[in-house]
Amino acid sequence: MVGRIVGTGSYVPEHVVTNDDLSKIMDTNDEWIRDRSGIAERRISMDEGTSQMAAKAAGKALEDAGMSADELDIIILATSTQDNLFPAGACEVQEMLGAVNAAAFDLSAACSGFLFGISIVNAFIQAGIYQNGLVIGAETLSKVMDWSDRSTCVLFADGAGAAVLKADETGIRHTLMGADGKKGSVLSCVGRTNGNFLNGRTPEFGYTYMDGREVFKFAVKKIPECVDEILEESGESIDEVRWFVLHQANRRIIEAAARRLKQPIEKFPMNIETYGNTSSASIPILLDEINHKGMLKRGDKIIIAGFGAGLTWGAALVEW
Ligand code: UT7
């Protein structure tokens, strides 16, 4: 048995922030942001936290799967912007959904988090331990942006996406996960500084820092490598792949990956223009979008791939 994606759902906050809106609070403009990233607008949460958005996306995914919350064995919330250090956001989601039989925990792998999540749930299903799992990617990145750092804050946004996995004969065929901690400093958001009564320091939160060029170089190399590796492991031909669902970080990264893989750009659905980079949520939001547009047919082979802070990367070959 393997995990098959039997339901998807997504949720984004109502508040739309356009590039022109940002140009009113910092030295930037619509042309620069569109040209360099492909982003036109993004959603920013006014009041909703990560767990609330995660639960909304998850509720829709369960409905889509025709599954009730108490059938879930495991809930993984992939996020870097959990509302609290503890309890885990996944436990809050479990409570909000009424998923009383599910183990629940958060997973920190930044933009690769959703991929890591489905790899883990798939492994539990393959091992015969669990039958039904829920993987959510949800972020309120707006709260960890330095809104005076125009090179980074214009890219990131808030949102949530989810997928329900069920044990079946076909589904997730191969997954890979990777990490390179040596490159950690190119994309980071330092947490609480060590403050306590002995050293007299007050705990402080940091903001997101990114060396955009380094991350860009890494991504355009790593994404095609991941795709090649997953195809080689599965013995599948690239031309048999219907869709490449990639992490929505930058339109130029996706276009470069398509060129390197010698595949038509039409096989790479994108929604970065509307939602910006929602980190762990970007892949499940896109997956939900193409699912509900009727672009996914039973038996379609799709490759999902992403990269992010850590640095981390992951990919999966999925039979729909
Ligand atoms: O999921 C996490 C993964 N993150 C990523 O995938 C990000 C990967 N990196 C990128 O997407 C790109 O590197 C960026 C979009 C972040 C930047 O694009 P770039 O082509 O590498 O631009 P740059 O950083 O080299 O900056 C070019 C110029 C600079 O001005 P000078 O030094 O040439 O005069 C920047 O100061 O653009 C300037 N600039 C801006 N101008 C207007 C930087 N940010 C802005 C801005 N508006 N928001």
Give the pLDDT confidence score for residue 106 in this predicted structure.
Answer: 98
How far away, in angstroms, is 258 Cα from ligand 1 center?
21
At 7-19, the pLDDT tens digits run: 999 999 999 999 9
Q: Which is catalytic among the residues 111, 153, 189, 226?
A: 111
- How much is the mean pLDDT over the chain? 97
How confident is the model over 89-111, as pLDDT tens digits?
A: 999 999 999 999 999 999 999 99
Check if 247 is active-site. Answer: yes
Beta strands in the chain (DSSP E): 2-11, 16-18, 41-43, 74-78, 103-107, 132-140, 158-168, 172-179, 187-189, 208-210, 241-246, 301-308, 312-319
CA-based radius of gyration for the chain: 19
Is pLDDT above 90 for 202? no
Q: What is the 36 CA–ligand 1 centroid distance (Å)?
A: 7
39 CA from centroid of ligand 1 (Å): 13
User: For the segment 168-186, what is each residue's pLDDT rounded down to a tens digit?
Assistant: 999 999 999 999 999 999 9
Any ligand 1 atom below 6 A from CB of 36 = yes
Q: Which numbered atom of ligand 1 lies nearest the CA of 219?
A: 6
Q: What is the structure's pLDDT at 190?
A: 84
What mean pLDDT do residues 59-79 have? 98
pTM for this predicted structure: 0.97
Residue 203, pLDDT > 80, answer no
Mutation pick for ligand 1 pocket among 18, 20, 23, 36 (CB with most ligand atoms within 8 Å): 36
